[in-house]
Amino acid sequence: MSSTTMMETLTIKTENKFRTLTTKRAYKKGEIICAMPSEDVREKPNRYTVQIGRDKHTHVGKLAALNHSCDPNVILDTESMEMVAARDIEKGEELFFFYPSTEWQMDAPFICLCGSANCINVVAGARFLPLSTLERHYLNPHIREMMIELLNNTKHNLEKIKS
């Protein structure tokens, strides 16, 4: 079973229930590709949501076909609510973003097979990654905030053990 859904500049392909999002045109690094939908915001994540705040997960419609890569070519900017080219992108390329750049703790973790030299292997959300890995990526403000909070709590707990 395979099908194709066309949008103005993006194409969703479905093959054996696996969806991919590809671009019908080239983009320069920093160019805005499209807006992120934000009409349907929930408190809990699911497979079709992107986290945009501490307890805010928006259904992203067709952008839910966007797959993860540890070497992504797009950024989801949850402040401007836009999908932006992370580097120059060629016409016909599949689009990927780094899921932990928006997701703190994912509803459905999986094993990454992206093949990147910096592959994180287990994609479960930012809270499960070392700071050194996260620092290599674009991170949205809510992820930075929760990471700082986690580090501060860890430090506080270590001090309690020592005293």
Closest CA to 131 of 98, 92, 100: 100
Choosing from 81, 114, 129, 146, the residue that interacts with Zn ion (CB under 5 A) is: 114
Choosing from 119, 129, 146, 150, the residue that interacts with Zn ion (CB under 5 A) is: 119
Closest CA to 137 of 107, 111, 98: 98
Specify the stretch interacting with Zn ion by CB under 5 A; choose among 20-28, 37-45, 53-61, 104-112.
104-112
Considering beta carbons, is residue 34 or 112 the nearer one to Zn ion? 112
If binding is defined by CB under 5 A, does position 112 make contact with Zn ion? yes
Phi then psi for residue 134, to 5 deg, are -60, -35
Q: Which residue has the tokens 């890995």?
A: 133
Considering beta carbons, is residue 34 or 114 the nearer one to Zn ion? 114
CB of 120 to Zn ion, least distance (A): 6
Strand partners, 58: 41, 50
Specify the stretch interacting with Zn ion by CB under 5 A; choose among 14-22, 108-116, 131-139, 144-152.
108-116
Q: Rounded distance, CA 43 to CA 89, Å?
A: 33
Distance from the Cα of residue 32 to its chain's centroid? 16
Considering beta carbons, is residue 44 or 115 the nearer one to Zn ion? 115
> Which of the residues 35 through 94 are near Zn ion (CB under 5 A)?
70
How many other C-beta atoms lie within 10 A of the C-beta of residue 41? 14
If binding is defined by CB under 5 A, does position 146 make contact with Zn ion? no
If binding is defined by CB under 5 A, does position 34 make contact with Zn ion? no
* Count of chain residues binding Zn ion (CB under 5 A): 4
Closest CA to 133 of 55, 141, 142, 123: 123
Binding site for Zn ion (CB under 5 A): 70, 112, 114, 119
